Structure 1
Amino acid sequence: INDNLLETCKTNLHQLINEKEYEVTQIGSLDLIVSDHVANGSFKSLKDSVKYFDEPNFAIFLRNIDLKNRLDGNLKYIDETSYNFLKKSHLFGGEVVISNVADVGSVHRVPRLKHPMVVGNNQIFIRSKNQSMNDYLFIFFNSKWGQHAIHSITSGSAQQKFNKTDFKKLNIPIPTDNWVDNHISPFLKMTDLNKAETRLLKRIKSSLLNKYF
């Protein structure tokens, strides 16, 4: 169902592009935040200040593999001190996360959890106060146009990567909020509900198995 909903969004985007109902805008000129793990300091300061845990702790260190697995697997955590240090990479849900090293172009939407989160390494995240913009950018960068834009700034032979500076210079099509509210956001809200229901059912299943077996 979720795959079909996302395909509907992409079909609507295709129509938007064909009919040229947008304005071309540089990402860096949009009212949004583009940040990542290393925005918080040098590699040494990150190593000295951030502690990782395999068992549940204050915040989830959200990696690309976790998003790919829909958080169904072994997660990494950080303590409250580390979370406070990583103030430039806090996630609250709804942000767009793009892998910018190795698995370049892997695009995800951060789930809304009742748990503090930070973005993991080798990823950038995009957050706008306007949720319509977040919704649109998620669909755009999942599309062939968005993937082409990402690969246009990707370099490296041994390890593919791109940086935030080049990303902010990308010119992309931006529709009106009204268009997004009618053609993108309703479908993403349905996928969110489906994912939340799936997580709840998994917790119920786990609880029942632990109780009776």
Structure 2
Amino acid sequence: MLHPHTTRQDQEREETSMAGQDHPTLKAATLLFVYFAAMAAGMVDLSLSAGYLASSGAGPLIGGVAALMAGLAFLAWSLWGLHRNSLVVPQLVLPALVAAAAIHVAVLAAGLLAPSRSLDISHLAALGVTLMALAGAGWLRRHPKTNGGGTHGQPRTGRLLAAAFGAAVVVASVATPGLAASMAGQHAVPHGEHGQAPTEGVNPALNPGHHH
């Protein structure tokens, strides 16, 4: 029942505000998800920059420098945001995430339209984690006051840990194939070969497990 001096719009606004203040754990978990995804995007961009910078030509050089700057920017933003425990400079980061996603889409489209019709897994992974960060940051931007509920408005520790673990697993499942498909990942020494003696002069047929 409405108060005589309360309009229906005021009641709906109050209910929306109260609903937005009942999920501090959701906001904290989303914040972690955003920064995990941004950190993964930064690492994939850095791996892409290594491949571009190792190639010759002006085009790869420009792409390598752009990927390097984007990777460092995403890493710096994620570390800064985790330190502040808030969504920092969203008015700058959201357009940057949109631009980064558009670039990855353009590169993927160019590869699919090329005669070889190749799909760049690293760019696909970078697009995935960039869209994750963009979606989470956009949600936080629309719900800036989601900080009530729980005990004295604090997130529930158990649920937050579970959400953080789930976010890390989801982000890693997307970013890991992209890192492995990059030039740096392809030239990495497999874990099983660390510490093995050099095999120069050894017949490959006698040592089939050592390949580069």
**What TM-score do you get using the length of structure 2 for normalisation?**
0.27
Structure with higher Rg: it is 2
* Structure with the largest fraction of helix: 2
TM normalised by structure 1 equals 0.27
Query: Which structure's residues are more often strand, by fraction?
Result: 1
